[in-house]
Amino acid sequence: MDTETSQEQGINLDDLDELVKSPATDAFAFNEHEEHILELWDQEEEIRLELNLLKAQTGRRHDVNISSLSDEEVQAEIKKAERELLEARSRYTLRNQIIQNVIITDPVLKAVHSGEGVTELEKRLLPLIVERDTLSMVHSVLSNKLQTANSRLATLEKENIQAIAENKELAREMLELANELKAEKLEEIEDARLRKQLEKLEEEVKKARIEWRTMKSLVAGIVAGSGVDWADDPKLLSLVLDEEDELG
């Protein structure tokens, strides 16, 4: 069933090991010149970020005379400055992401469509792009399957708890009926056949009582450890906090 579902979504989980392999990515390496360019780019971005933060700090220094403020006002100004620095960093990060996306888009499109003017460096991107897209698709499918499985598991756990609760209630009713029959002494029953049946039933009741108490302890443990919000559910709450010897 899982394989059929995955095939409908474009992925056969039987081939998952092959799909997640990335030989082109593993084998890819920048030459010395390319690595140097990337290092310079990273350094430039760090300097730009520091400049933006320094500008934000410098602007704050001229706005407020700290020496004239109370301790509460100083704390308020510090929080305000921190907030402004975070906002400045966020704006810079967003701007930087937009620039990077624009820079990345053009060579990616050229590599995918292989039009005129495509450089050797851009051609090297194509197998990497294919592997990236494949891994992205696998990740999406597996994430959806995991979410579905977790949802199904939560439903089954709840149904299991409800089924155990129903079994417990049936066991309780059986024991109550047995106790009612037990009120009449066996010696007073003249019918030998009926007396023998009741003696057998009494033995079964004793076994059922032991099983019932064991079941009750298991139910309490399962409910308490299941992660279900049993404290706000009267039925589940009674399962966990039920008196141990309520049926004698």
**Nearest to 134, CA basis, from 12, 19, 10:** 19
pTM of the model: 0.46
Spatial distance between the Cα atoms of 145 and 5, rounded to a whole number of angstroms: 9
Count of CA atoms in the C-beta half-sphere (13 A) of 194: 10
The backbone region for 21, taken as left when phi is positive above 0, alpha when psi lies in -120 to 50, beta otherwise, is: beta
Question: Residue 25: what residue type?
Answer: T
Q: Is 6 exposed, middle or buried (0-12, 13-18, 19+ CB in 10 A)?
A: buried
pLDDT per residue of the chain (248 residues) written in tens, 0 to 9: 444 444 445 556 667 677 777 787 777 778 888 889 889 988 988 888 888 778 766 765 555 566 677 778 778 878 887 888 888 888 888 888 888 888 888 888 888 887 677 888 788 888 888 888 888 888 888 899 899 999 998 888 888 888 888 887 887 777 777 666 666 555 566 667 776 777 777 787 778 778 777 777 777 777 777 666 667 777 666 766 665 544 44
Structural domain boundaries in the chain: 16-123, 154-241
- Local structure of 231: helix, strand or coil: helix
- Measured CA distances, 62 to 49, 53, 66, 80 (Å): 21, 15, 10, 14
Two tokens, residue 186 = 């066996």
CA 187 from centroid of its chain's CA atoms? 63
User: What percentage of the chain's residues is helix, strand, coil (to nearest 5)?
Assistant: 85, 0, 15
